[in-house]
Amino acid sequence: MTDTWKIATVDDAARARIAAARLAAAHGVSTVERTRLVTALSAQLRQSLVKGGSWVMTLHGTPSSADGGPGRITVALAAVANGSAGKPSWQASVAVEEPGHGESAARVPRDRKAFADALLSADEDTSRILDRLSEQEQLVSFHREELHQTNQGVLALHAELDAAGLVQRELFAAERAARTEAESARRRLTFLADASAALTASLNHEEILDRLPQLLVPGYARSVDVWLLDDDVRKRSPRPAAAVAAARTGRPQYAADRPGGLPGVDDLPPSALHPDQPLLCIPLPTRHAPLGVLTLTPPEDPWGPDDAVMLVELARRAGTAIDHAQRFEHNRDIAETLQRALLTDLPTTPGLGLAARYLPATHGLNIGGDWYDAFKQPDGGLVAVMGDVTGHGLRAAVMMSQLRTALRAYAVDGGTPGQLLTRLHVFLHHLQPDLYATAVIARFHPDESTVTWAAAGHPPPVLRTPGGGVRVLDAKPGAMLGIPLHQEIRDHTAELPPGSTLALYTDGLVERRAEGIDPGIRRLAEALGAQRTVDLDRDLEGAADRILDPMLRDSQRDDDVCLLLCHVGDTGAHPGPGRSTA
């Protein structure tokens, strides 16, 4: 189907436009496509009228194909020149889904009223489009508002997530900081505990002074100086003003070009002796006044408040340890002086050699109640004594001295070893009811070839015969001296031919914690039996050392050790004073 319209006036253009709209509607073109087609045609018709002249509009409808393809409506506009239409200057087409209803240009009304109605009704498609557009705008506005609300929710959610993330990061940072601080605190406490144990493990104040730099460098100080106020040698060297202030005030001082901000520490200007490095001077306190000053230079990382608190506490413990060590050394010196004063030289007696050894315990005050003694009686006899007062320290040493003096006084009046021990037992029980002692006494006489001995709770003497045989004089001894028991201590006698050696000793020589006393006595007997008679005659002092060496090789020396060798020789020569302490 093809229709043409000649267009020369506005009425012609309006009729052509109405015809195109009705034809598209008749063939089921959608409102949107129909409006688009009519709008484009109206624009071209307006331009044609503006240009003037005659124009021809052609409407051409193509039905749907047999294979189901859609039909088309084509609108073309061409100018008329020389009485005929030329090549179309504009052309448009739309697809149709259903056949037309025979609408044609002849049905376009000619009267003005019907024409006006048809012209105005041709814009109904535009009105529908506008209505649909309005609906779409409302829908778009609704969705826009919905999208805005969604965006606001998303933004709020993101803000909450950011805030939650920030809080979480802050919590993680706080947790890491707390963990780091806890680890640092644990490290400082562990160091303080280990350092305290190391400082208090020694009772030698010089050793403590040497340990302080070893403990503090390099973790908590680059260098360490310890100034003891009563050290005359170290007092001569110049000291920083901060150290002097710490000693005078008893408060820690920090000398640097800027404040340290350390708790409990006073800030001072830089030291004139060390202007380029900070100094932390901490007093070493005791119960009454500072003992000295600990001066530190900072390590690679500067001190923090917790480090300062820990260092002040360490200095307090170091001061206490040094004070205790100095007091111990003072008491030890007094005790050793007293002990040496009590160990007199052994007498020289023709035909009888004496050699003694006293070794204090390696732990404690190095003084105890062990003692040996040898002295002559008015009848020419010689009494050899080995005793041990229970306990250690000055009290035991004083009691030992009193027993030694009492025994010498009793011996002047004569009496056998058993009688002397019995009197000594009564004396100790009345003098010190809570203190006990053990002792063994052997009496030698130049006119007798025997030895008389008695023991009270003491390890038995060991006798070496001239042929090298050894026997333990283990006759039943009396009870310990001083116990609340009446006793008469018995005497015992043993043959003592020339070349014999009698060994008196204390339990510190033979007793071991893990095995008791009997194995030690057997070892002593073996060591004594291994000596040659000729060596005992010539060098009794050397023999004493040769006996002690194997006996003490595996001993930790928790107790004092005493040994007294009494050797009956042919020459009667005595090798000299028999006392040795080590």
Same domain, 217 and 295: yes
Where a domain ends, among 85, 102, 122? 122
Least confident of 26-35, 118-127, 311-320, 387-396: 118-127
Residue 321 has pLDDT above 90, yes or no: yes
Q: Are 499 and 466 in contact (CB under 8 A)?
A: yes
Same domain, 496 and 558: yes
Phi first, then psi, for residue 533 (nearest 5°) are -60, -40
Q: Residue 559: its pLDDT value, please?
A: 76
Residue 106 has pLDDT above 50, yes or no: no
Given a cut of 80, whether residue 66 has pLDDT beyond it is no
CATH number at residue 247: 3.30.450.40
d(CA 145, CA 339): 107
Average pLDDT of the chain, as a whole number: 86
Element (H, E) at 292: strand 292-297
Indicate whether 348 and 324 sit together in one domain: no
Domain for residue 96, yes or no? yes
Do 137 and 129 touch, CB atoms closer than 8 A? no
Decide: 370 and 440 in contact? Cβ < 8 Å. Answer: no
Q: Answer yes or no: is pLDDT of 581 > 50.
A: no
Do 432 and 563 reside in the same domain of the chain?
yes
Q: Tell me, yes or no, whether 130 lies in a domain.
A: no
Q: Which of 123-127, 230-234, 309-313 has the lowest mean pLDDT?
A: 230-234
Judgement on whether residues 302 and 381 belong to the same structural domain of the protein: no
Domains of the chain: total: 3
Distance in angstroms (rounded) separating the CA atoms of residues 90 and 77:
5
Token couple for 442:
């052997």
pLDDT score recorded for residue 435: 85
β-bridge pairing 223-228 and 292-297:
antiparallel
Percent of all residues in the chain with a pLDDT value above 70, rounded to a whole number: 88
- Predicted local distance difference test score (pLDDT) of residue 460: 96
Element (H, E) at 548: helix 540-552
Contact (CB, 8 A) for 436 and 481: yes
Q: How far apart are alpha carbons 417 and 385 in whole angstroms?
A: 9
Summarize the confidence of residues 211-221 as an average pLDDT.
93
Per-residue pLDDT for 94 more than 50? yes
Q: Is residue 387 part of a domain?
A: yes
More confident call, 546 vs 344: 546
- Asked if residues 300 and 179 have their Cβ atoms less than 8 Å apart, the reply is no
Range of the domain at 35: 2-122
Give the other-Cβ count within 10 Å of 317's Cβ: 16
In terms of Cα–Cα distance, which of 46, 96, 51 is closest to 71?
96
* Kind plus residue range of the DSSP H or E element containing 193: helix 124-200
Unique residue bearing structure tokens 């409302």: 138
Q: Are strands 470-472 and 223-228 parallel, antiparallel or unpaired?
A: unpaired
- 97, 122, 147 - which closes a domain: 122
User: Is the pTM value of this prediction over 0.75?
Assistant: no
Reply yes or no on whether the pLDDT at 173 is more than 60. yes
Average pLDDT on 494-506 reads 95
* Residue 432 token pair: 């010190």
Is position 579 within any domain? no
In the 8-state DSSP scheme, what is residue 516?
B
HSE-CB of 393 using CA atoms within 13 angstroms: 3
What residue has token string 């009345």?
430
Closest of 372, 344, 353, 339 to residue 541, by C-alpha: 353
State the pLDDT confidence band at 80, using cuts at 50, 70 and 90: confident
Pair (520, 373) in one structural domain: yes
> Residue 581 domain-assigned?
no
**One domain for residues 506 and 563:** yes
Residues 438 and 545 in one domain: yes
pLDDT of amino acid 368? 67
Residue 313 sits in the same domain as residue 393: no
Q: Calculate mean pLDDT across residues 153-163.
A: 90
- Is residue 336 one of the residues assigned to a domain? no
CATH number of the domain that 557 lies in?
Answer: 3.60.40.10
Would 266 be classed as within a structural domain? yes
Conformational region of residue 383, where left means phi above 0, alpha means psi within -120 to 50, and beta covers everything else:
beta
The residues with which 567 forms a beta bridge, in sequence order, are 353, 501
Q: Which distant-in-sequence residues (6+ apart) come within 8 Å of 580 by Cβ?
A: 356, 357, 358, 359, 541, 544
347 shares its domain with 395: yes
Predicted local confidence at residue 3, as pLDDT: 83
Determine contact, residues 393/335, Cβ cutoff 8 Å: yes
Which of helix, strand or coil describes residue 436? coil
Is 151 a residue whose pLDDT tops 60? yes
Q: Is it the case that residue 572 has pLDDT exceeding 50?
A: no
> Per-residue pLDDT for 44 more than 50?
yes
360 has a pLDDT exceeding 90: no
317 shares its domain with 352:
no
In the structure, what pLDDT confidence band is assigned to residue 556 with cuts at 50, 70 and 90? low
Structural contact between residues 355 and 537, judged by C-beta atoms closer than 8 angstroms:
no
Last residue of a domain, one of 122, 153, 170: 122
How far is the C-alpha of 521 from the C-alpha of 551, rounded, in Å? 10
Same domain, 224 and 366: no
Pick 261 or 84 by higher pLDDT: 261
Q: 577: cis peptide before it, omega within 30°?
A: no
Tell me the pLDDT band of 577, cut-offs 50, 70 and 90: very low
Structural domain contains residue 133 = no
Higher per-residue pLDDT: 208 or 391: 208
pLDDT of residue 361: 72
The whole-angstrom separation of Cα 441 and Cα 421 is 8
Span 61-87, mean pLDDT?
A: 79
Q: For residue 508, what is the enclosing H or E element?
A: helix 507-510
Strands (E), 326-448: 352-359, 368-376, 382-392, 437-444
- Across 467-477, average pLDDT: 93
